Amino acid sequence: MDKLAPVLGGLGGLWAAYNIVPVMYRWELIPGVASEEWWARAKTIKYDHYSEGIIYSPYDTGDPIREMPEQCKGKMLLRQKRGGWKLQSEMEE
């Protein structure tokens, strides 16, 4: 029985990994690994819309956000000429 339990545990772990890892791959849950769907979607994103007033959000709802949310205003980090960083809200003072 002492030798059978680790073998059964190992087989159970292999069976679970065999069933779970493909789902983790499709849902992009594995750090550093992107699925084929992710690469296809990344090719369609136009990252040069920043000058046209489109603000990127973490959720793809289809219709882009065109106005800066209030909680985000003044939060951009600006690099200073003499070194260091300041928030945009600190520069307006």
What does each of the 93 residues of the chain score in pLDDT, given as a tens digit? 788 999 999 999 999 999 999 999 989 899 999 888 889 888 887 777 666 655 666 667 777 777 777 887 778 888 888 888 888 888 754
The model carries a pTM of: 0.44
Q: Does residue 88 sit within a domain? A: no
Number of domains within the chain: 1
Q: Does residue 75 sit within a domain? A: no
Reported for 31-39, long-range contacts at CB under 8 A and 24+ positions apart, including other chains, are none
Helix (H) / strand (E) containing 77: strand 77-79
Q: Does residue 15 sit within a domain? A: yes
Domain that holds residue 3: 1-39
Q: Does residue 51 sit within a domain? A: no
Residue 9 to residue 16: CA distance in whole angstroms: 11
Q: Does residue 85 sit within a domain? A: no
Q: Does residue 47 sit within a domain? A: no
Q: What pLDDT is recorded for position 49? A: 63
Query: In this structure, how many other beta carbons lie within 10 angstroms of the beta carbon of residue 13?
Result: 10
Q: What pLDDT is recorded for position 13? A: 94
